[in-house]
Structure 1
């Protein structure tokens, strides 16, 4: 294997990234540690991988996340120092949130600075992550009481680049109202090889989804997402599910002629809402909005959520200004308005750009990052 992937905290987005790289890029071999005891992983993972990663003349590239102390690993394994070393930042320890500055352990940020110095390429998942790290190095190093090193930012910055975290977006078109399908088509239409939905499932779907019968799969998924409050005009959940599946299988046919409303009489056609694709017509607007606190924004918006984020940190880089708030009072007013007019959210079509975060758009950049000509001394 020519690409050595090392992940000292194999969970969450860290796991998602290296799994995707191993799945989509040829000649990768992965070594990991479980995603627990983060502080001990940052302190001792290099020693563990020094003993675990076998020597090989086939390695050409080393890819590791910023949890690993890369400087220690290279010192312990000089053979790995000859490789092209790519160091990826999911987050940086110079500004990672702590309640008080005194609570920040100097060692973790120091480890990341040393790792950047020995890396050949330093990659950040956002411009905010990169700039906040680089511009904090000088202030951070002033914590050293004397004999402080100088010009570290200038040494590290030329190695740095931004490469957004890649998301292989799942196919959620069957769950979305018709007016939001355009965003999905634009996102998955980005240039890339293969089916953008391949090998990707929603969190609530079974792992063996690919081998399941399509009808059973839809039935299970719809039961999972059908959590809206019942209104007086709603029919039974089985009838609602049947109508929703019918609308999915026959998008060009009107369902109004195929179903009737119990509250309006058996002989009258039941109106199907164009916004949420559920029977009951305008009654769906009486249902309460659901507020979610996602750990993965770039996925939540893709699945139809309306983003409402602080005008700080990385959010201005990701979302247009209309989705940002500056004060708690602004947030309260926005939520209050949405509660009074839920149709504002339900009918809204996201105005930002999602394709730039898709694996289809980013796969070429990651492939280039993980390719190199062999060095003469290998």
Structure 2
């Protein structure tokens, strides 16, 4: 017998997925709310997205008095309900950290429409669909028709409208550190790139700009942070060698305190992402006093003011060159930059999550 009121499922329990689940369950514990947490380790994402429902369906407790099922979009809820029809009466909430309908790929032929199809069917099976940004929601809804056009015939109608009716935006809750003001060195610009070491974060674009700065003998320091997975793009090894004299930190920082220390020492945080629906690390860097330089695309115009947006790699190079020659300028621009990072804070957002999950 299981007395939990809520079932929380995460097939990819790591990174931002784990942070969100831990924030929710921590609040449940503070309120003495009973819940069941069912997870799988955060590895082999593609297998989790394909087979997570099959891997988890026997682990989920039998239904007694549960009210709500909450899961990330990695889980195919429609498949899960097929294997566990007793879960069907629950209020089913799906949360999108990212969507697969516009995911960039290295080769077009490697495109697997199945991931996008899974997310569409999950939304149809869910009662509430949450997205971590307006960009995430709009890009998902506006590309449903394009994905369904891949079907050879008998394409269903009104799918977008049905999903839109149950969709809303709820930003990801970030646990910002206790703010401490640290004086930045004005002698050399410190650039930080705080992203996963993967293709979709655009490392080639970032390092090519730095190689150009170094070739022109423009002084700078760089910290390359973020999680490292089994398949690391080759550009990272090249960067480690060619930028060895410029590197402050190169690799994942396991201690949150040390991670925030690196961010606080940097002047500028850069994103070169090809695929970003929110961007926790850039907001953390911004909170720690970095001036954010982000593409004028994806989710970034939703979060950052115009002066933080760059048009292309040439524009990024010019911006960084300007800051390298005058590091204090980046500090002044950050001070003048109107970004309300608190609106993305855990303390402000988690009550809304609990309200939606607890519901009526």
Per the TM superposition, whether the score is higher than 0.5 is yes
How far the C-alpha of 1:327 sits from its partner, in A, is: 2.1
Q: How does 1:204-219 map to 2 (within 5 A)?
A: 204=255
Give structure 2 stretches of 5+ with no counterpart: 185-252, 272-278
* SS of 1:52 mapped into structure 2: coil
* SS of 1:296 mapped into structure 2: helix
Contact 2:263 2:288 in 1 (8 A): no
How far the C-alpha of 1:24 sits from its partner, in A, is: 1.1
Structure-2 residue corresponding to 1:119 = 126
* SS of 2:101 mapped into structure 1: coil
Structure-1 residue corresponding to 2:304 = 319
1:149 corresponds to 2:152: no
Structure-1 residue corresponding to 2:354 = 367
Distance of 1:320 and 1:290 partners within structure 2? 15
| Equivalent position to 2:51, from 22, 25, 44 | 44
Bigger-Rg structure (1/2): 1
Q: TM-score by structure 1 length?
A: 0.68
| Equivalent position to 2:25, from 19, 22, 26 | 22
Structure-2 residue corresponding to 1:10 = 13
Q: How does 1:210-289 map to 2 (within 5 A)?
A: 225=261
* SS of 1:4 mapped into structure 2: strand
Give the number of aligned pairs: 276
Distance of 1:9 and 1:111 partners within structure 2? 15
Structure-1 residue corresponding to 2:78 = 71
| Cα deviation 1:10-64 (Å, max 9, x = unaligned) | 1110111101110112323211001111111111111122111120312111000
Q: TM-score by structure 2 length?
A: 0.72
With over 3 angstroms needed to count, the CA separation of the structure-2 counterparts of 1:227 and 1:360, relative to structure 1, is closer
1:172 corresponds to 2:175: no
Q: CA RMSD in A?
A: 2.5
Distance of 1:205 and 1:298 partners within structure 2? 15
Contact 1:22 1:29 in 2 (8 A): no
With over 3 angstroms needed to count, the CA separation of the structure-2 counterparts of 1:76 and 1:299, relative to structure 1, is same
How far the C-alpha of 1:225 sits from its partner, in A, is: 4.0
| Cα deviation 1:346-368 (Å, max 9, x = unaligned) | 33314211111001111221111
Contact 1:3 1:59 in 2 (8 A): yes
| Equivalent position to 1:352, from 335, 339, 353 | 339
How far the C-alpha of 1:204 sits from its partner, in A, is: 2.4
Structure-2 residue corresponding to 1:310 = 295
With over 3 angstroms needed to count, the CA separation of the structure-2 counterparts of 1:203 and 1:305, relative to structure 1, is farther
Distance of 1:17 and 1:176 partners within structure 2? 31
Distance of 1:43 and 1:5 partners within structure 2? 19
Structure-2 residue corresponding to 1:32 = 39
With over 3 angstroms needed to count, the CA separation of the structure-2 counterparts of 1:227 and 1:132, relative to structure 1, is closer
Q: How does 1:284-299 map to 2 (within 5 A)?
A: 296-299=281-284
Give structure 1 stretches of 5+ with no counterpart: 178-201, 207-220, 229-275, 277-287, 374-378
Distance of 2:263 and 2:152 partners within structure 1? 57
